[in-house]
Amino acid sequence: MGVEQDSTYRSIWADLRGVAFSQGWIDAGGTSTRYLHAGAKDKPALVFLHGVGGHAEAYVRNLKAHSSHFSTWSIDMIGHGWSDLSDSDLEIRHYIDHLLRFMDAAGIEKASLSGESLGGWVAARFAIDHPDRIERLVLNTAGGSQADPAVMERIKALSMRAATDPSWEFIKARLEWLMADKSKVYDDLVATRQAMYSRPGMEQAMRHNMILQDMEVRQRNILRAEDYGRIKAPTLVIWTSDDPTANVAEGRRIASMIPGALFTVMENCGHWPQFEDTALFDAMHVDFLLGKPVENARPVA
């Protein structure tokens, strides 16, 4: 007789079943940086970058599919997760500096970058400033192309409330904001972020993380048409039908500014499509990174 399993049970460990992975910390030029890694290190490097207030678990469901082809890293950016918190404001150049230091410490000469939200903003700027260090680029509901005061205030309010009072209710609300299907926010994910947001010093660190939601600061970091036009790496722009930061037209506009970029829309997903529809995301993402045709991804006319 077979053993009956509860298919409704969801956790980070369940997402990692069958995945050979490691968790560790690396000294990235003075910043203790936490990472999840899967795949042989002699394979081409891929680095996943999470959004503001996020952490490496944003890509926990994607490690298995990518580790067959890539030395796959998902990191906690500076000021986030279990990496060192920052005692000063973090603008895009600071995240790029941290990413460079991480790559150097990990022995990564060149990598494909895939970033969601803030991570996409950082990845795009990295591709502009350091074309010699990047292979391919994926911008996943990426930030950095606009400054919508209502969206900026919402992100800041939810994030600061969760960091100031890391109660179950507020942490869950912050995570649910990311999802089209709120039921995708399982308890283990809430508990994981709650532990991070309960770290000593996190409230002040979150203020430093939120500086990009200040209009003046955002405007001096924003990416404009001439910036996107300098991206040379093959690029895939992924948007979603239910993204809470911007509609599909904004994603299409970003793709139109990047020479040769492909654009696709994932239906019934919010700000974490890699988590909400993992099978579709992984299929498209792996194909693109391997240089294969991507179903339903087309250049913007």
What confidence tens digit (pLDDT) does each residue in 100-142 have?
999 999 999 999 999 999 999 999 999 999 999 999 999 999 9
Whose structure tokens read 């239906």?
A: 267
Instruction: Report pLDDT for 218.
Output: 98
Tokens of 45: 């490097």
Tokens of 85: 């918190």
pTM for the model = 0.96
Instruction: Report pLDDT for 284.
Output: 98
CATH code for the part of the protein at 21-146+222-299: 3.40.50.1820
Instruction: Report pLDDT for 9.
Output: 77
Domain-by-domain residue ranges, the chain?
Answer: 21-146+222-299
* Chunked mean pLDDT (size 10), the chain, 301 residues: 59 95 98 98 98 98 98 98 98 98 98 98 98 98 97 97 97 97 96 98 98 98 98 98 97 98 98 98 98 95 71
d(C-alpha 215, C-alpha 202), whole Å: 23
d(C-alpha 299, C-alpha 278), whole Å: 23
| Phi, psi (rounded to 5 degrees) for 205 | -60, -40
Instruction: Report pLDDT for 8.
Output: 67
Confirm if 159 and 207 have CB atoms less than 8 A apart. no
Give me the active site residues, please: 271
